[in-house]
Amino acid sequence: MKIHAGAPVRGACRADRFVYTRGDVDLIPAGASDVWQEDDAGTSLILALSPSLLRRVAADMGLDPDKAGLEPRHQIRDPQIEHIAWALDAERRAGDPTGLLYRESLGVALAAHLLGRYKAPGRLRRGLSAPQLRRVTAYIEEHLDHDLSLDRLAGVAGVSASHLKTLFKRSTGVPVHEYVIQRRVERAKALLLRGDLPASQVAIEAGFAHQSHMARCMRRVLGVTPAKVAARAR
């Protein structure tokens, strides 16, 4: 990414003439290239986002990290890009007084903005295939009272853990950990309505760490306490 940082510069790209002014942005994805001629000496700020950062931010946004990319754009105006760019430049000029964490936070903010506004079209993939989704959800139902780690569920689906997070949410509309909690709450509700187990045992059978954990999740998902659910059985 190139942000024009100096006095106006005249130039041409192929047959088109242009004038760059301070804040004009060129967005050039990795692997892309272009050629232009500038008639005047100019000053630009170059920002390079690492592929690993783009992948991580894409996954957090529910995009396929292997396919999410940016669209080439030339001479655009974007106040948010400018704000982040000038903040990074000021930090560099000051000798990086606030350290790596500050730069990384700005990099994450920039990557999220770019992927949200300038994402390349046609790069999204579908979610889990129907057989993959059936395998994962069936495994969850059969093992609600066991440790359902992301790595284990990814192995059932046959994808990486980071990929599962993206594809599962795209398929179901909810993150995989939230889906597991919802299914455990439903299991606990069914056991409480059956009325033959104490709440402490119901929590274990449904896969919760303890009774208070079950109560917190049930209030959040169903809006009622385990005691109220159990009261219906009586």
Q: Tokens at residue 81, please?
A: 């890009």
Question: For the chain (length 234 residues), average pLDDT per consecutive 10?
Answer: 91 82 89 76 89 88 80 91 94 89 92 91 71 96 95 94 91 93 96 93 95 95 92 76
First to last CA, the chain: 66
Whole-number pLDDT of residue 34: 67
Architecture of domain 130-233 in this structure: Orthogonal Bundle (1.10)
Whole-number pLDDT of residue 123: 45
Whole-number pLDDT of residue 125: 55
Q: Beginning with the edge strand found earlier in the chain, give each strand of the sheet holding 16-20 in spatial order.
A: 16-20, 9-13, 37-38
Strand partners, 45: 3
Q: How large is the C-alpha radius of gyration of the chain?
A: 26
Domain ranges of the chain: 2-117, 130-233
